[in-house]
A = this chain, B = another copy of it.
Amino acid sequence: MTAKRRIKAKATKIKPKRAKNLSPGTVAYTGKKSTTVTELDIIDYSKEHYHRYRTNNIEEAFNYEDSTNITWINVNGLSNADDIIKLGTHFELHPLIQEDIVSTYQRPKIDEYDDYLFIVFKMLHYDNDRLNYEHISMIMGKDYVLTFQEAEGDVFSDLRERLEHDKGRIRGVGADYLMFAILDAVVDNYFTVIEYLSNKVELLEDKLFDKKEDPDIAEEIQQLKKEILKIRKAVVPLREVVNRLEKIDYTIIEERTNKYIRDLYDHIIQVNESVEIYREMIWSLMDMYMTTISNKMNEVMKVLTIMASIFIPLTFLAGIYGMNFDHMPELHLRYGYYYIWGLMILVFLGLLWYFKRKKWI
């Protein structure tokens, strides 16, 4: 019951949703997380300086953008179209970008504009054994990075800590490195998601090998299939995105960042390979399950065959001497009853030996 509802809830995510029949460029949120408030989480930093600021007032973000520091404006909540449009207008974002930011169905992609790069990707996380899918858009300009999330809660906490405590090289370099670091955090997170999935696969395998009765295994396998398909839907296009990012000739991206992007590309390929391997393994689980069912049926059949093959002939023997013919000499033998018991025991042992030789028992 609950399993079914869970599946439905997830299945809906695979369906491509789109605000229907709106004029292209219309900004209409298509997701389900209705945090009506748009919250901004602004981090303004340079090598010497670090400042974090949270607000619900869009205009406050504009001050930061003009500073010479690098500014990372993270927007939580996409349901308030006005706010998105206000931000979009200030940063001179093309209407189609504004549409993509709120269209949670949008697949990962990269678009180059004159003054900024626009990247769409998906954040995955298992929440209460459910695979969640969050739509994130990122705009990288000369000295700022904008990120848009559906709701609060993300995989960037480590990154923020590194920024705050000036760990690694991040504070000393430009917005392009910040962009890389954000993508890197997302891809790192994919490894976590796959590890979680791999545990689920192994658990299911153990269940199958244990040969316990569990009619829900087919359902669970189907569920895993859906999850791996969803992960793939996020990972495969991101690979193209990073590949293109590597090849882009873009003044904002400094030479030294390229090495890191190449490294990121290695990682996303690796995620990809793991996804493909788990896909194959999940698909082959179904075959495994099929053999398990057949093995069980074999066992059931054997019990039936042994019981029936032993007792049906014996019952026949008993039936013979239950007949009421006037002339049945055996009935009047002194030890007839014991002879027949002996015969029955012989038949019984003979059949046991037969089944033993066949290795059925």
Besides the known contacts A20-B188, A211-B215, 12 further A-B residue pairs in the complex with CB atoms under 8 A apart: A16-B194, A20-B158, A23-B168, A26-B168, A107-B266, A218-B288, A283-B284, A298-B300, A300-B302, A303-B309, A308-B312, A319-B319
Classify the secondary structure of A's interface with B: helix
Task: From the candidates B162, B213, B325, name the one contacting A337 in the complex (CB within 8 A).
Answer: B325
Contacts of A222 in B (CB 8 A): 205, 284, 288
Q: A185-B21, A298-B300 are in contact. Are A233 and B273 (CB under 8 A)?
A: yes
- Taking CB as reference atom, which chain B residue is nearest A299? B358
Please determine whether A331 and B321 come into contact, CB atoms closer than 8 angstroms. no
Per-residue contact bits, chain A 1-39, to B (CB 8 Å; 1 contact, 0 not): 001100110010011111011011110000000000000
- Taking CB as reference atom, which chain B residue is nearest A330? B325
- Taking CB as reference atom, which chain B residue is nearest A109? B266
Q: A16-B271, A24-B184, A307-B308 are in contact. Are A263 and B96 (CB under 8 A)?
A: yes
Please determine whether B305 and A303 come into contact, CB atoms closer than 8 angstroms. yes
Determine the distance from Cα of A269 to Cα of B233 in the docked complex, in whole angstroms. 12
- Taking CB as reference atom, which chain B residue is nearest A8? B202
- Taking CB as reference atom, which chain B residue is nearest A159? B21
Please determine whether A198 and B337 come into contact, CB atoms closer than 8 angstroms. no
Task: From the candidates B26, B194, B293, B324, name the one contacting A322 in the complex (CB within 8 A).
Answer: B324
Task: From the candidates B212, B292, B308, name the one contacting A218 in the complex (CB within 8 A).
Answer: B292
Most buried by B among A211, A259, A319, A359: A319
Contacts of A346 in B (CB 8 A): none
Q: How large is the interface on A (under 10, 10 to 19, 20 to 34, 35 or more residues)?
A: 35 or more
* 12 A-B pairs (CB sep. < 8 Å): A8-B202, A14-B198, A16-B194, A17-B195, A106-B266, A233-B277, A289-B291, A290-B290, A298-B300, A315-B316, A321-B325, A325-B333
Per-residue contact bits, chain A 155-170, to B (CB 8 Å; 1 contact, 0 not): 0001100100001111
**Closest chain B CB from A281 CB (angstroms):** 7
- Verify if A53 is at the interface (C-beta below 8 Å from B): no
- Verify if A241 is at the interface (C-beta below 8 Å from B): no
